[in-house]
Amino acid sequence: MVLQTPSKTIAPTITWESLPADFVLPDDPVENIQQPTLAAALTDALGANRRIQPTMLIGSNFGLVATVNKKSSSKPPIGSTSPKFTPSPKEPSVAATPPI
């Protein structure tokens, strides 16, 4: 006879907060020099298979910062897509990061 206890999975606490005003972002290049070639190849392959639509937003070369269980975490995603994107009628912002 085997006794099984239910597993307890605790969901992490995730918050999205502004970086402190004095936070210094590294200025050294972190991008893979092959990234533009790989991005172009992926874009061509997706376009040839009609997987890219005019309403889509495709982003790359950015990082995500979140606080997970009170510990700051920064991850560079490979890329992201939004299947439906509607541009704002306002002038584009020049800020790299929108205010939170």
User: Does the reported pTM lie above 0.75?
Assistant: no
Q: Report the distance separating Cα 27 and Cα 29, nearest Å.
A: 6
Q: How far is CA 65 from CA 14, 45, 69, 95, in A?
A: 11, 30, 13, 17
User: Does residue 96 carry a pLDDT above 70?
Assistant: no
- The pair of structure tokens assigned to 69 is 């269980």
Q: Report the distance separating Cα 14 and Cα 12, nearest Å.
A: 6
Residue pLDDT, tens place only, 8-62? 888 999 998 877 788 776 666 666 677 778 878 888 998 899 988 888 887 766 7
Say how many residues make up the chain. 100
